[in-house]
Amino acid sequence: MATTAENLADPKLLQTEWDLEPLVYGEGEAGVDRLLSETTERASAFAERYAGKLEKIESAELERAMLELAEIQDMLGRAASYAGLLFSTDTADPARGALLQRTQERATEIETKLLFFDLEWAALDDARAEELLADEGLEFCRHHLRSARRYRPHLLTEPEEKILSEKSISSESAWGRLFGELVSALRVELDGDQIPLEVALSRLQAPDREERRAAAVAVTHTLEPGLRTRAFIYNTLIYDKAVEDRLRSYPHWLASRNLANEASDESVLALIEAVRGRYDIPQRWYRLKAKLLGIPKVTDYDRMAPVSREDVTYSFSDARALVLDTYQSFAPEAGRITRRFFDERWIDAPVRPNKRGGAFCSYTVPSVHPYVLLNFTARQRDVLTMAHELGHGLHAALAQPQGVFQFTTPLTLAETASVFGEALVFGRLLDQAADDQARLGLLAERIDGAVATVFRQMAMNRFEHLMHTRRRTEGELSVDRIAHLWTDSQAEMFGDAVEMTDGYRMWWSYIPHFINVPGYVYAYAYGQLLALSVYGRYLEEGPSFAPRYLELLAAGGSRGPEELGAIVGIDLADPGFWDSGLQLVEQQLQAAEELAPSD
């Protein structure tokens, strides 16, 4: 079996670097500036033509306006995607940072010119709006326009909206960029080397406990010096959100996120309560895991440890072949699309200095194609991460015909394709397992993933809730106060099954979701449980399910979440829906318990 170092030297990995030039017609940075200039001119002309006139607009003219607006959004999306993706692969490059900042500033200027449209559209009488939306020519933007009107109670006047829009570049956008640069620049000293934080965190999956402990200590040592700075950034962003929520009359800190997710407060609360009510599942798992690891109790740095002593690693080539074959076997169309990510350089996979950590899929714009970023460290987990992000990529590619207004979904459905793809590949790995011990190791990794995606994300939602509500009542929160809220929210999930080390108190401080998208994390649990239910349908129905699943992905965000779920026979309005998803996680735990050696 190849070593980790040998797998990381795989030429196919080292050569897997994305080509961003299609976004800017092969013109590089000059293409960004040209697109921004042309978009600015077109936005000005659009505003001159339509500002103050929506009250009397007719259906045919509204269609023409929306087609023009779609072209403007596409051009702006090309430029913004290029600058953002280029920056993500080297966040320390001043030229890339300057391009990103310039693009964000110009994009804000353009969006400010177009603000009038959403405000005037929202101000229309309901009956008049519905009369216009009945026109067949608006199919490409009907759901988008109808959804935009939900923000009516929270919109300000046009001058106020313009001020908030322009100030965003020097407020939340600037603080978010600073946080990202600080975290990307972190270097962890391990075994005499200075390694990226992402690589150090991957050592928590090592079979050797001392290696995991040393990695955790080193990560904590790296996080400590800049902790107060990151805490100040977080405090500032929470306060900034509190001000905007107050100005926009949102009743609580999560209300704006729920609105964006097209999810009612009641349904989100039902999800949160359902998951927190089943914290016995992760606690039960961690007790079993301690037994499988041969230790008295799992500590925070043991949570992602493999239960097998064998350190299973994959070359990039083998991971690619496995994932692509799995997608191809599920549906030839899925295989054809996911292969394009590798063949046409839509993917960037190696770990590099100053590259953004983690993994993501950028949908970019429908006129180009999506891009996937990985940080491949040769772990078995990286195979599933590849499958996960290519699921996003498949979703984006299939939904492109919906157009710029309706090819993305709310965050609550955005994880469906990714988790489903991950489940497909996991099923393949399980089928290929040589014996019960190997199957147990895979099940353990799968349960770890479910715990991380469902239960840990809900614990992080609880942390965010405490942070946002306490910041609004107590003022700026100290590093110690933040640590207390973090450990409280984690302890609720861990119970007495996990021992938290002192260093773990500061591990909240590298997580970008808290900074970039407040309230985001519950969508992971939503998406995971939804995707597990969809996958359960597939297991019941077999190959005949694939066309309906691809239909769901191709619908993008052209319908509401409940309508989209109905395509594959899922009733999101059913109060028992969350319980059924949690039962699927528990079934995996029961299978692991049955495979575990008896005392």
Segment 324-375, tens digit of pLDDT: 999 999 999 999 999 999 999 999 999 998 998 889 999 999 999 999 999 9
In sign, the C-alpha dihedral spanning 526, 396, 201, 596 is: positive
Label residue 381 by pLDDT band (50, 70, 90). confident
* Distance of alpha carbon 31 from alpha carbon 314, whole angstroms: 38
Alpha-helix runs per DSSP H in 253-331: 255-260, 265-276, 280-293, 316-330
Could you tell me the CA-to-CA distances from 549 to 3, 167, 406 in Å, in that order? 38, 42, 18
Q: Is 20 helix (H, G, I), strand (E, B) or coil?
A: coil
Could you tell me the CA-to-CA distances from 590 to 163, 441, 538, 580 in Å, in that order? 55, 14, 21, 15
Residue range 395-412: mean pLDDT, rounded? 94
Q: Answer yes or no: are the C-beta atoms of 156 and 164 closer than 8 Å.
A: yes
Q: Backbone dihedral region of 2: left (phi > 0), alpha (psi from -120 to 50 degrees) or beta?
A: beta
Residue range 157-191, pLDDT digits in tens: 988 988 988 888 888 889 998 999 999 899 999 98
Query: Residue 544 contacts by C-beta under 8 Å, 6 or more apart in sequence?
Result: none
Give the chain's mean pLDDT. 93
For tokens 């929210």, name the residue. 489
Q: Comparing C-alpha atoms, which of 349, 438, 346 is closest to residue 386? A: 349
Label residue 322 by pLDDT band (50, 70, 90). very high
Q: Tell me, what's the pLDDT at 3?
A: 67
Amino acid at residue number 160: E
Q: Measure CA 348 to chain center.
A: 17
Q: Answer yes or no: are the C-beta atoms of 584 and 532 closer than 8 Å.
A: yes
pLDDT above 90 coverage of the chain, percent: 76
Can you read off the two tokens belonging to residue 71?
Answer: 């072209």
Q: Backbone dihedral region of 438: left (phi > 0), alpha (psi from -120 to 50 degrees) or beta?
A: alpha
Question: Is the pLDDT assigned to residue 1 strictly greater than 60?
Answer: no
* Distance of alpha carbon 534 from alpha carbon 382, whole angstroms: 23
Q: Comparing C-alpha atoms, which of 448, 456, 336, 454 is closest to residue 398? A: 336
Q: Cβ–Cβ contacts within 10 Å for residue 396, how many?
A: 26
Least confident of 95-104, 214-223, 369-378, 410-419: 410-419
First-to-last alpha carbon distance for the chain, in angstroms, is 31
| pTM score, whole prediction | 0.83
Residue of higher predicted confidence among 430 and 85: 85
What is the DSSP secondary-structure string of 522-554?
HHHHHHHHHHHHHHHHHHHHGGGGHHHHHHHHH
Least confident of 36-45, 449-458, 569-578: 569-578
Q: Cα-Cα-Cα-Cα dihedral of 80, 84, 85, 90, to 10°?
A: 150
Classify domain 18-170 by CATH number.
1.20.140.70
Residue range 72-94: mean pLDDT, rounded? 96
Residue of higher predicted confidence among 24 and 446: 24
Q: Tell me, what's the pLDDT at 533?
A: 87
Residue range 203-216: mean pLDDT, rounded? 94
Question: Is the pLDDT assigned to residue 6 strictly greater than 80?
Answer: no
Q: Tell me, what's the pLDDT at 454?
A: 94
Question: Is the pLDDT assigned to residue 301 strictly greater than 80?
Answer: yes
Could you tell me the CA-to-CA distances from 289 to 494, 558, 582 in Å, in that order? 13, 43, 19
Q: Comparing C-alpha atoms, which of 528, 522, 527, 511 is closest to residue 446? A: 528
Q: Answer yes or no: are the C-beta atoms of 524 and 453 closer than 8 Å.
A: yes
Can you read off the two tokens belonging to residue 234?
Answer: 């977080």
Q: For helices 457-474 and 265-276, what crossing angle results, to 10°?
A: 120
pLDDT above 70 coverage of the chain, percent: 98
Question: Is the pLDDT assigned to residue 590 strictly greater than 90?
Answer: yes
Q: Tell me, what's the pLDDT at 599?
A: 64
Q: Tell me, what's the pLDDT at 2?
A: 67
Bridging pattern class, strands 347-348 and 371-373: parallel
